[in-house]
Structure 1
């Protein structure tokens, strides 16, 4: 519970994150969250006493089985870009991502992000109808706050190692335990 409060405090005290969460909330998409580096990088920066995060790649995820076309995702990205052109938006309907990832069908966004590469990446946040930060973390927040980088149980370990090598997170955040 302590990490949930800590994450919420980090987000609430970051005007850019709150603004971004409000923009996405106003889309009114089903089971919609912002995840991955939006959360992970901010926390790693916070724990390293630095501010390297730029919201250049903001991963918006939602779950809508009624329309799994990539066209819908591109339309939403365009709308977001028109609202905030400084941010590079990536929108993915998790109701279709099982096809791309060759997995069984996902039941909701939480189930989908449980298949993301790292436990510290498989975290998403949103503002609810009362503008309170909600956190989705199928593996909890300990690895994120303990700076542990490890694969989720659903992710291939060879692909995980390749991803870690390409991202070179250890150079940017020296305290990570990879």
Structure 2
């Protein structure tokens, strides 16, 4: 079981498993070509690819979109982010997937209105990944110059391989975690969903 391997072997297995999702590897390649600051492909497209491989499903099963985070604090206007989103629409055209690009330097400007709790400004893409509702989601990958992979996984990746969904009560409200976990369990009934802390 990959979740019990030494970390270096887990990372090798992660790369091997994620590479089975050809949409994901193409998104990673095109994202690298955008050369956005602090860029990672992140969230569901990663851990759900792993869940699919572990449970014997097609590698793209249940993946609703491919998230790309970047961090540019030099211009927090919507217009600057929208220009990047439009550039991304051209770069990702023709892929059989929805790709969402977001500047994590701007999240604090809209988060409270959407989720009902305030969000302090992030200082990096990694800080944004740290605040996902479940630790399982806290995962980012990108292609580095020369073709290597950079993996950001502040909580490790054992839970991802072991199909464990663990709450991360640092920002997102309990109802966000529970709604996501319920939706995931519909697609992957093999998951073990741990309760929000009392």
CA contact (8 A) 1:77 1:89 kept: no
Counterpart for residue 159 of structure 1: 176
- After superposition, the Cα gap between the structure-2 partners of 1:164 and 1:132, relative to the gap in structure 1 and judged at 3 Å, is same
CA contact (8 A) 2:21 2:49 kept: no
**Aligned match of 2:77 in 57, 61, 69?**
69
Counterpart for residue 3 of structure 2: none
TM-score by length of 2: 0.81
**Aligned match of 1:108 in 117, 121, 124?**
124
Task: Indicate the larger mover: 78-87 or 114-123.
Answer: 78-87
Counterpart for residue 164 of structure 2: 148
Distance 2:56 2:31 in 1: 28
Distance 1:62 1:26 in 2: 13
Secondary structure of 2:57 counterpart = coil
The answer to whether the aligner puts 1:12 opposite 2:28 as a matched pair is: no
User: Which digits, 9 at most, give the CA deviation of each residue in 1:3-57, with x for residues without a partner?
Assistant: 2221111233443322211100011111001101110110110110111526651
**Aligned match of 1:30 in 32, 37, 41?**
37
- Indicate the RMSD between aligned Cα atoms, in angstroms: 1.8
Distance 2:59 2:188 in 1: 10
The answer to whether the aligner puts 1:128 opposite 2:134 as a matched pair is: no
Gap runs ≥5 in structure 2: 1-6, 112-117, 194-198
- After superposition, the Cα gap between the structure-2 partners of 1:8 and 1:52, relative to the gap in structure 1 and judged at 3 Å, is closer
- After superposition, the Cα gap between the structure-2 partners of 1:112 and 1:163, relative to the gap in structure 1 and judged at 3 Å, is same
Distance 1:59 1:30 in 2: 15
CA contact (8 A) 1:124 1:137 kept: yes
TM-score by length of 1: 0.89
Distance 2:185 2:132 in 1: 19
**Aligned match of 1:97 in 94, 107, 131?**
107
- Deviation, structure 1 residue 72: 2.7
Gap runs ≥5 in structure 1: none
